[in-house]
Amino acid sequence: MYRGMTHVASYETLGFDAPHLFDALTEMTSAQRDTLPFGVVGLDDEGLVVSYNQAEAALSGLTPSRVVGRRFFKDVAPCADVPSVSHRFFEADEVDEVVPFVFALRMTPTPVRIRLLKRAGAQLGFLIVERA
């Protein structure tokens, strides 16, 4: 397990700014990601949503069943299809960067921090979302 953690409950203390968050997320199951206090959106290299945790569903008002399998930047959150978010995510082979952002589609404008996490060769990249 992630950095010597021996049980699922250890993931519950993982924070938005954790230095090895990408590693932990790739090892976690969907149920484990659901225990996190911040949103986690797992994207494949085409931008399709593969994973969408409960914290993100609560923040966005969209259930995982409405989001998984859809293009995040085109169908789910087109407001995030901007250079500071989608372009940074897709243009780099590897990224670990925090971007201040305001989600405004289908909801009251909501200031957030988005952490873009991606590694070359990994099956998933992640958008981590925390209310600002």
Q: What pLDDT digit, counting tens, does each position of 28-58 carry?
A: 999 999 999 999 999 999 999 999 999 999 9
Distances (CA, A) of 89 to 42, 64, 71, 98, 108: 12, 21, 14, 11, 25
| Token pair belonging to 67 | 């989001």
Q: Which amino acid is at 3?
A: R
Distances (CA, A) of 108 to 59, 71, 86: 11, 22, 21
Which domains are assigned to the chain?
A: 32-131 (3.30.450.20)
Rounded to the nearest integer, the mean pLDDT of the chain is 90
- Say whether pLDDT at 24 is over 90: yes
Predicted model pTM: 0.89
What pLDDT is recorded for position 85? 97
Interior CA angle at 81 toward 126 and 71, to 5°?
60
- Say whether pLDDT at 79 is over 70: yes
